[in-house]
Structures are given as C-alpha cells and as structure tokens.
C-alpha cells in the first residue's frame, strides 16, 4: 500500500492495490451491463437477481456508494493532516510548560516529578515501570480495535490533560506570558481534543462507507462478483461459449477482495 508520512510520524494511505481492485470490479460490471443491454429482448433471465432493472439499480447504488466513499476519504485525509498540524506543537509546548513550572514559586519536588513523568510520556520516552491508567481517564484506555497510531494520539491527549490538571493545582504557576498561562493550556488541550475527535469521526464514517461498498461488491449472493458468475453462466447457456458476446463478457475478470483489506489499520 502506498503511503505518505506526516511531520509527526503519522502515516496516511494513498492509492492502494485494494482500491484499484475494487474500481476494476466496478468498471467490469458496467461493461458487463452494456453487453446485456445491447442484447435487447434476447436477454430475459428467469433469475430475478439478473434482470435488467435489478442490475441497473445495483449499478446506480454502487456509483453512489463510491462517490460517498471518495468524499469521505478526502475528509479523513484532511482531518488527519489537520490533527498532525495541531499535535506537531505538543512536544515543544509541553517542554516550555515544564521549564516554566520549574521556575515557578513554591513548586515541590513531588510535583515536579509528576510533571516530568507526564512530559516524558508526551515526548515519547518510555517509563521503566508499567504505568497504570489514571482512574479519571480509564475510558481513554486503548482498545484492541483501535489502531496503534490512534492509541498514540489518544494517550498523548491523556498525558497532556494530566499535565494541565497538575498545573492548575500549583498556586505558583501563573506565568505572565499569555501563550503559557492556564488559559492558553486549556485552549490548546481543547484544540487537541477537537482535532483528534474529528479524525475518529471521519475514520468511523470511512469504515462504514467501505463496508457499504464491500456489501455491494462482495456479498455472497447479491455482490457484483457473485452476480458476474451467474450472468456468465446464463449467457453461456443462451449464447454458447463460441458467441462473440459471451467471449467478451467471459474475458472480464472479477476479483473477490478480502473485506478486511479495506478496514482502516
């Protein structure tokens, strides 16, 4: 699969062999229908699934699904790039906050140690001991069905939220610099949440759209691949294997693609 890497290390998929395979199946199906339409009244299958009206409706649904999928794919890519731009500022901002905290009045060693731990996680360094998730953020614990990349963004958000909570608890943390005060910290945290949430929503919408595409193309009974086999059998029966129209449609190849290949990793 072709990919491109953003500044924060996020990998964004570009055109893949799987997408090409899906489109090829759709193009071949449309070619198939052109042949059957050209046959006029000679094409009269007894199987309801193969009737012209049913197949025309099928083609229309597929085109709508693909159009929606293309739009949602663009939206997901744009949301991912936008999130990358927001998160790109996270590490240097956390480092500045840490330095500002150290210079603040009345900061205890345990407080600095806790802040340093959160900052270390934000910077991507591993802790020696396995960390137990904060009870307040238990719902942010990564789940198995979430990608490693998504876990990384979720966890960084959790760590920054913990750092913000800690800073709010320190009376002496009151920098004069507007880009470092608590209002700025809260505003940036909201930007992180918003950017991450938009990606999650866009990815879920994209997965649903891909599932709809896969249903139209690969359902065992009504999918394009399954219908193509029935149509080839019907046309061979009424035309014979030597007929030019049958040879034309028999040359059209349809690939059954594993639906899991379309799920966002």
Give residue-wise pLDDT tens across range 7-22. 555 554 544 445 688 9
Domain that holds residue 228: 3-84+207-262
Closest CA to 157 of 119, 122, 203, 133: 122
Is residue 196 domain-resident?
A: no
104 and 126: one domain? yes
The pLDDT assigned to 51 comes to: 96
Question: CB count, 10 Å around CB of 57?
Answer: 11
Is residue 218 domain-resident?
A: yes
Is residue 254 domain-resident?
A: yes
Domain count, the chain: 2
Q: In this structure, are residues 98 and 119 in contact, taking their beta carbons and an 8 Å threshold?
A: yes
Is residue 190 domain-resident?
A: no
Give the C-alpha distances (Å, rounded to integers) separating 230 from 25, 43, 221, 263: 15, 13, 10, 28
114 and 65: one domain? no
Q: What is the pLDDT along the chain (265 residues), one digit of tens a residue?
A: 444 555 555 554 544 445 688 999 999 999 999 999 999 999 999 999 999 999 999 999 999 999 999 999 999 999 999 999 999 999 999 999 999 999 999 999 999 999 999 999 999 865 454 444 443 443 333 343 456 677 799 999 999 999 999 999 999 999 999 999 999 999 999 999 999 999 999 999 999 999 999 999 999 999 999 999 999 999 999 999 999 989 988 999 999 987 544 432 2
Give the C-alpha distances (Å, rounded to integers) separating 97 from 61, 103, 158: 53, 10, 16
Is residue 189 domain-resident?
A: no
97 and 80: one domain? no
60 and 99: one domain? no
Residue 133 sits at φ, ψ, to 5 deg, of -60, 145
Is residue 60 domain-resident?
A: yes
Task: Report pLDDT digits (tens) over 214-241.
Answer: 999 999 999 999 999 999 999 999 999 9
Using DSSP, state whether 169 is helix, strand or coil. coil
Is residue 191 domain-resident?
A: no
**pTM for the full predicted model:** 0.75
90 and 169: one domain? yes
Nearest-angstrom CA–CA distance, 196 and 159 = 14
Given 156, 174, 192, which residue is the final one in a domain?
Answer: 174
Q: In this structure, are residues 196 and 83 in contact, taking their beta carbons and an 8 Å threshold?
A: yes
Given 125, 153, 174, which residue is the final one in a domain?
Answer: 174
221 and 243: one domain? yes
Given 119, 150, 174, which residue is the final one in a domain?
Answer: 174
Write the CB contacts of 48 (distance below 8 Å, at least 6 apart in sequence): 54
Is residue 114 domain-resident?
A: yes
């Amino acid at each position: 699969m072709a990919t491109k890497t953003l500044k924060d290390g996020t990998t964004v998929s570009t055109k893949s062999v799987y997408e090409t395979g899906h489109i090829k199946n759709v193009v071949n199906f449309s070619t198939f229908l052109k042949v059957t339409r050209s046959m006029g009244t000679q094409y009269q299958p007894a199987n309801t699934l193969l009737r012209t009206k049913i197949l025309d409706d099928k083609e229309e649904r597929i085109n709508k699904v693909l159009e929606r999928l293309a739009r949602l794919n663009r939206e997901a890519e744009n949301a991912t790039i936008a999130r990358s731009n927001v998160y790109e500022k996270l590490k240097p901002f956390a480092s500045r906050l840490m330095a500002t905290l150290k210079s603040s009045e009345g900061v205890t060693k345990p407080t600095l140690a806790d802040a340093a731990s959160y900052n270390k996680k934000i910077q991507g360094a591993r802790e020696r001991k396995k960390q137990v998730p904060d009870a307040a953020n238990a719902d942010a614990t990564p789940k198995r069905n979430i990608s490693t990349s998504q876990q990384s963004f979720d966890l960084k958000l959790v760590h920054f939220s913990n750092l913000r909570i800690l800073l709010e608890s320190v009376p002496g943390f009151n920098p004069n610099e507007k880009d470092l005060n608590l209002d700025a910290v809260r505003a940036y945290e909201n930007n992180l949440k918003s950017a991450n949430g938009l990606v999650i929503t866009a990815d879920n919408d994209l997965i649903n759209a891909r599932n709809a595409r896969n249903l139209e193309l690969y359902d065992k009974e009504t999918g394009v691949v399954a219908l193509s086999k029935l149509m080839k059998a019907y046309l061979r029966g009424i035309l014979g294997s030597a007929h030019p129209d049958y040879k034309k449609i028999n040359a059209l190849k349809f690939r059954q693609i594993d639906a899991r290949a379309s799920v966002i990793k």
